Amino acid sequence: MVHPQALLDELERAPEVPAFEHGARVTTRGELRELIGRFTAGLRTAGLGPGDGVGLATAVTPEGFAALIAVHVLGARAVAVRPGLPEAQLRHVLGDVAAVVADEPWEAGVPVLPVDSLVARFTEPVPQGRLDDIATVVFTSGSTGVPKGVAYSYRALTEGRVWRPPVPGSAHERLGAGFGRYLLFGSLASAVMVEQLGVCLLAGGTAVIPQAPPDFPAVLPRLGITAALTTVPRLHRILDVLRSEDVDLSALRTLIVAGSPVPPHTLAEATERIGPAMHHAYGQTETGMLTVCRADEGLGSVGKPCDTVEISVREGEVWVRTPSAFSGYWRDAAATAEVLRDGWVRTQDLGFLDAEGYLHLSGRARDVVIVNAIIHYTGPIERAIAACPDIDQAYVVAVPDSLTGEAAHAFVVPVPGRSPDLDEVRKAVAAELGEAAVPARFSFVGAVPVAPSGKPDKAALRASIVD
């Protein structure tokens, strides 16, 4: 059985159960399967087949998801196209595709197939993918240069834990039990958002699409959401609201924060205000979700490994092995060799496993400041600053310095209504990490810019510095 057969079987098993809800429109699982069959026929009529690259540039809709699965039924290669890409990056992403599926026609340099044009006579969707062929390529944000294409094989999607029924009694099954009504928003080019959509559908849940960009946290009770994914900046906005307003979150069973490190005091406050629904997770585009746990478990950790995930810490760096891992970077053997070795993925994150098996992260191998030829990891500095009572968030970037080569510049978001004493902050960092780790410069900011990936945009912070 090859992906997406398990999903097709689940849709056929309960055809009357809603798969998607968007305002008053409900798309049942049977209707979704019908769409997939029609789109598969339409793609085939357009001359597409196994091994062809097909760009997907649709909004978050049942049709957009059906087109993605139809590409997989064909055994073709789905290439996620993120909204708002600069022209040069768009050309790079579309360099190996035969056509693009989009909501409306646009100039892409390759044939564009409007979703509506794909509707053809239904044919039974029979997956044609070969296990070792590439099923999906998701491109990184490009914040470090040209976007890298993270390529997943049909084997990874078939044998990984997300696109198949959860194993009874597993942590995956327990997680999926909270996904009765999953908030789906953003972009289908987001690997993590689609991964959680898979958890929802294979667990029998419904993906609820808001009619406008979600206004957290009010959107959660308004749509009866039981599960949602959030980033750290969005979690801070949720907490800002909850500090002054009562929002009924009693229906919420799973709110996962992921994407970047979460300060312990933020998790503690989130647990207090949101309750046991609060979870935090760790993963990468290259691996999918690696760990997850309730925010009140494994103090200071990011949780225990998910089912099918192995973790090894080698000289302080975290390596992982999972059937869901990527096959390599698309047409980039050198970059692949740096992180993928003998089935293990080098995460380039630093950390350790405690005696109970919880993973603790201490920074990124590449997120460093080199001062006087000494490497300082920004993660520990950020946590030391954020632990100060008057500080809500802290982000550290490396900036050029004529005397030391590089210097640490800290951007600090104060707790509303408070004024941090920077002398005390410096003392706290020095006490925790030593004088050499104290940032040379500080800037107070009201909020932190967010990158397209949903993570704090350190590049934008660095660019905001005026000499």
Q: The domain that contains 408 carries what CATH number?
A: 3.30.300.30
349 plus 395 within the same structural domain: no
Within a domain: residue 376? yes
- Which secondary structure element, helix H or strand E, spans residue 304, and what is its range? strand 304-305
Binned at pLDDT 50, 70 and 90, residue 263 comes out as: confident
CB neighbours of residue 37 within 10 Å? 22
Is position 202 within any domain?
Answer: no
HSE, CB side, 13 Å, CA atoms: give it for residue 131.
8
Containing structural domain, residue 256: 214-363
Which of 363, 391, 406 is at the close of a domain? 363
Mean pLDDT (the chain) is 93
Q: Does 410 share its domain with 429?
A: yes
Distance CA 300, CA 282 (A): 13
Return the sign of the alpha-carbon dihedral for residues 22, 28, 29, 31. negative
pLDDT score of 143: 45
Question: Is 378 in the same domain as 434?
Answer: yes
Backbone angles phi, psi at 352, to 5 degrees: -155, 160
Proportion of the chain above pLDDT 70, given as a percent: 98
In a domain, residue 192? The reply is: no
Q: Which residue has the higher pLDDT, 365 or 408?
A: 408
Let me know if residue 207 belongs to a domain.
Answer: no
Average pLDDT over residues 229-249: 93
Q: What is the pLDDT of residues 175-212, one digit of tens each?
A: 999 999 999 999 999 999 999 999 999 999 999 999 99
- Per-residue pLDDT at 84: 81
351, 420: one domain: no
Banded model confidence at residue 264, pLDDT cuts 50, 70, 90: confident
Tokens describing residue 422: 């920077």
Please indicate, yes or no, if residue 197 is contained in any of the structural domains: no
Total tally of structural domains belonging to the chain: 3
Does residue 173 lie within any of the structural domains? yes
- Grade residue 22 by pLDDT with cuts at 50, 70 and 90: very high
CB 299 within 8 A of CB 265: no
Among 363, 386, 418, identify where a domain stops. Answer: 363
Residue 142 is predicted with a pLDDT of 56
Residue 291 pLDDT > 70, yes or no?
Answer: yes
* Reported pTM: 0.87
Say if 453 falls within a structural domain.
yes
- Shared domain check, 83 and 9: yes
The reply to whether 441 and 326 lie within a common domain is: no
Mean pLDDT is lowest, of 138-142, 152-156, 393-397, for 138-142
Is residue 441 one of the residues assigned to a domain?
yes
409 and 276: one domain?
A: no
The answer on 33 and 130 residing in a single domain is yes
* DSSP three-state, residue 329: strand
231 and 169 share a domain? no
Q: Are residues 385 and 449 in the same domain?
A: yes
* Tokens found for residue 317: 């760096």
Q: What CATH number is attached to the domain comprising 66?
A: 3.40.50.12780
Provide the residue type at 386 as one letter.
A
- Domain end point (choices 343, 363, 383): 363
Q: Which stretch of 107-121, 224-238, 369-383 has the lowest confidence by average pLDDT?
A: 369-383
More confident residue, 231 or 273: 273
Confidence (pLDDT) at 232: 85
Q: Note whether 112 and 152 are same-domain residues.
A: yes
| Pair (419, 283) in one structural domain | no
pLDDT recorded at residue 404: 79
Distance CA 288, CA 322 (A): 9
Convert the pLDDT of each residue in 445-456 to its tens digit. Answer: 999 998 877 889
